Amino acid sequence: MTVTFHSSARSSVGIEWELMLADGASGDLVGRAGEVISALAEPTALERFTVTEELLTNTIEVTSGVGDTVEAAVDDIADAIRAVRTVTDPLGIELLCAGSHPFAQWYEQSVTDKTRYHTLIERTQWWGRNMMIWGIHVHIGVEDVDKVLPIVNALAVYLPHLQALSASSPYWAGERTGYASNRALVFQQLPTAGLPWPLQTWAEYEDYLEDMVRTGVMEDATEVRWDIRPAPRWGTIEVRACDGMSTLPELAAVAALTQTLVEHFSRELDAGRELPTIQPWFVRENKWRAARYGLGARVITDREGTQVPVSEHLAQTIERLAPIAAELHCAREFAGLQTILEQGASSTRQLLVADAADGDLRAVVQHLIREFRAGPTLREHLAGVGDGIPAA
């Protein structure tokens, strides 16, 4: 099978953000995505951003245009949210984002009436119906198809770092799971989801797709749901490992890290250097550790099995890649990584709110709503950070 990779501008950025729709008073999910999207169809037809449906009717996805910088992509996302609020605010619908809703039940949710979603549910049954999960997808442009799989494999070393920074699903259907990112382990139950296979060349990827299509596992490349995957149609590498980010500055920070990592690896390939990888069993263990412990995890960083706290390795990575972030004009967004390291990811904040409220998860939802609505805008956040990168 021949699959064309439509190369795109090097290190360009696109962002997708899945958002929950909730009743402002109760905090419970509401299945009104179709109503919201219909109302926005005409007013936003000529915008760079899009607002679309997802698997469940309680979810909308806002997507940026292709940005030369993280700032441009995030500006599109901010514009999309403003447009959505013109519809949701009068309806009493609030927006929030996390990897999971703290107390909603899967059997009370409705599936969007599209053939692809009904087919997915028919095949996956209970696990498919349990996909009450929200995430972000960051696309980074790659100009040469031969770079794609080597970069995907190198990014797998940093999958736990991205997962820990974004961890925001400590609760599931009203229960405290003991995991910082329960979403990470739920999502991998779907066929073709989870960690990428360690393929070396584009030809091997084409062979993989041919096998999967021939045996009826999938129809095309869009059904590859790896945590990090090629997106041939767009000419990008798409990182899908992250839980839904709860604030716009955090979204920008993780997008900046993703862009900077891809550019760093691209430069290494240009210089003729082999990219670092670790054994697939180490990648799998790292994913579990990050899901369980978040920023408190110890991760395996090299083929020799060296283990360090993920927060420590992140600090080293931030310091090492800061010059590239500056060249990509995302230094201020990149500096937001230090804020997450210092203040904790959303999962930590949710647990603290629940403890302060004697375990009342309605308080956690209201916290997420307030954080999404009243937290600092990205511009306010960047003004507070300044132009430099804090010392690691």
Distance CA 364, CA 277 (A): 38
pLDDT of residue 387: 41
Instruction: Give 10-residue mean pLDDT values along the chain (392 residues).
Output: 95 98 97 97 96 97 97 96 97 98 96 91 91 97 98 98 98 98 96 96 97 94 96 98 96 98 98 98 98 98 98 98 98 96 96 96 96 65 43 29
Find all residues with CB under 8 Å of 227, minimum gap 6, and list them.
Answer: 156, 159, 188, 193, 194, 195, 196, 239, 240, 241, 287
Q: How far is 173 from 17, CA to CA, in rounded Å?
A: 22
CA distance to 34, 100, 232, per residue, from 65 (Å): 22, 26, 17
- Write down the domain spans for the chain: 13-385
13-385 fold: Creatine Kinase; Chain A, domain 2 (3.30.590)
Give the DSSP per-residue string, 73-90: HHHHHHHHHHHHHHHHHH
Quote the pLDDT of residue 381: 46
Residue 22's DSSP bridge partners are 29, 94
Q: Provide the pLDDT for residue 319.
A: 98
What pLDDT score does 383 carry? 53
Asked whether the beta carbons of 290 and 160 are under 8 A apart, the reply is yes
Q: For residues 280 and 326, what is the distance between their CA atoms, to the nearest angstrom? A: 32
What pLDDT does residue 197 have? 97
- What one-character-per-residue DSSP string does 14-40 give? EEEEEEEEEETTT--B---HHHHHHHH
Contact 83, 44 (CB under 8 A): yes
pLDDT digits (tens, 9 = 90+) for 150-195: 999 999 999 999 999 999 999 999 999 999 999 999 999 999 999 9
Tokens representing 351 are 């647990």
Which pLDDT belongs to residue 374? Answer: 73
pLDDT in tens, 315-328: 999 999 999 999 99
**Beta-bridge partner residues of 139:** 14, 238
d(CA 290, CA 160): 5
User: Exposed/middle/buried for 388, CB within 10 Å: 0-12, 13-18, 19+?
Assistant: exposed
How far apart CA 48 and CA 176 sit, in angstroms, is 39
> What pLDDT score does 392 carry?
27
The pLDDT score that the predictor gives to residue 375 is: 56
3-state helix, strand, coil in the chain (%, to 5): 50, 15, 35
Q: How far apart are CA 311 and CA 176, in angstroms?
A: 23
End-to-end C-alpha distance for the chain, whole angstroms: 46
